[in-house]
Chain A
Amino acid sequence: DAGVTQSPTHLIKTRGQQVTLRCSPKSGHDTVSWYQQALGQGPQFIFQYYEEEERQRGNFPDRFSGHQFPNYSSELNVNALLLGDSALYLCASSVVYKAGSPLHFGNGTRLTVT
């Protein structure tokens, strides 16, 4: 049973560039959430996708956008990268109809913006 998979594992970009991160949820999960984890901090909620729509959003600017595909996989896009966007980006999946369904995380994508 494959868990949550993310790609790529590491990425280096320059300020102003755009980046796309990818996530495949755990088998049987239909909801994908994205989190940003800065060094030494806890994960911060970016947004959640279900049925190919953004259902809830955290306190992140519009430069952060996403997409969910019919197979439940998801992408996170960040435009006009800033140095402060350097972080570990974590994807987590869960089951929408099950209240309190724990998040299952991938190993993340380490983004470095120079």
Chain B
Amino acid sequence: NAGVTQTPKFQVLKTGQSMTLQCAQDMNHNSMYWYRQDPGMGLRLIYYSASEGTTDKGEVPNGYNVSRLNKREFSLRLESAAPSQTSVYFCASRRVGNQETQYFGPGTRLLVL
């Protein structure tokens, strides 16, 4: 049981390049999330997926796209990276019930030059 996994762990991009961040969970959760965290700040929701086949915008969706490939996988794509997208990106899956819990992946550290 690996929980939530993310790839890559670290990436450097040049302005205008594109990339996809991968996320997978093996806990059979319906809901998955993408957050970004800037230094010294809280987490801001980019996109979420309540179930397979559905996605919705969070607080800061501009410049990003997502795909919920299946129940396990939720990817985040930067079509044309900008320095303002330099951040740490966390994927999470959510267990719903009496104890609302989000399980986070280890994060992807992205530097856009």
Q: Do A and B bind each other?
A: no
Chain B residues with CB under 8 Å of chain A are none
Chain A residues with CB under 8 Å of chain B are none
